[in-house]
Amino acid sequence: MILVGSRIAGSFFLLFGFLSLISCRERVNVQVPTDNPLKAKLGPPLHNGGFAREGFNLWDPSIIKVGDTYHIFASCWTSEDFNAWKTSFIVRGTSKNLLGPYTFAGEVFRPRPGDFFDSEGCHNPKITFHNGKYYLYYLGIPAWKSGVAVSDSVEGPWERRKDWCIPANNPALWIH
């Protein structure tokens, strides 16, 4: 008897709550904007910009400005097989405009044969300048660890460390 009474009471309160909600609601008029402020700020899409190389995929660019020239570094691999990214190498391009188009300036370096952390691929380059030197960080495959190459010039030559420089399990990278 108590169970039946509590079910009836529960149903009553549920029905009462629902009726209260629908009877007390106000009509709200929502104005949907017809303009798109983001689209206005971005402008029209860029055609013939960026960095491209026929027959290759380019990925994850990193850009640095030296003088009046922008230098773009990117991972590069053949477009025949998307999974070929695991054998990628690093290339560089130049432009007088940040948005491009960038002209292919050459290969920076390829995987090193032998017993190296980057013997199969060099991926996701990041370029920076500090104390008169250029530092090019990248992911070494098959070790999946970060390596660094150093140069006095953004055009190279680049000197790579034999070993990786940042262990993937280093918690200090996440502490500020």
Domains and CATH numbers, the chain: 56-167 (2.115.10.20)
Residue 25: what residue type? Answer: R
Residue 91, pLDDT score: 98
3-state SS, residue 174: helix
Residue 167, pLDDT score: 64
Write down the H helix ranges in the chain: 2-23, 37-42
Residue 81, pLDDT score: 82
Residue 79, pLDDT score: 86
3-state SS, residue 155: coil
CA atoms in the 13 A half-sphere facing the CB of 132: 0
Tokens of 78: 């053949």
Residue 48, pLDDT score: 65
Q: How many residues does the chain have?
A: 176
Close Cβ partners of 76 (under 8 Å, ≥ 6 residues apart): 53, 56, 57, 58, 59, 88, 89, 90, 91, 107
Residue 128, pLDDT score: 96
Note whether 124 and 108 are within 8 A (CB): no
Tokens of 4: 């039946």
- Backbone angle region of 14, left / alpha / beta, with phi > 0 → left and psi within -120 to 50 → alpha: alpha
Note whether 87 and 111 are within 8 A (CB): yes
The whole-number mean pLDDT for each consecutive block of 10 residues of the chain, a chain of 176 residues, reads: 57 66 66 76 72 91 97 94 89 95 96 93 96 96 92 97 70 57
Q: How far apart are CA 13 and CA 46, in angstroms?
A: 60
Tokens of 143: 């070790």
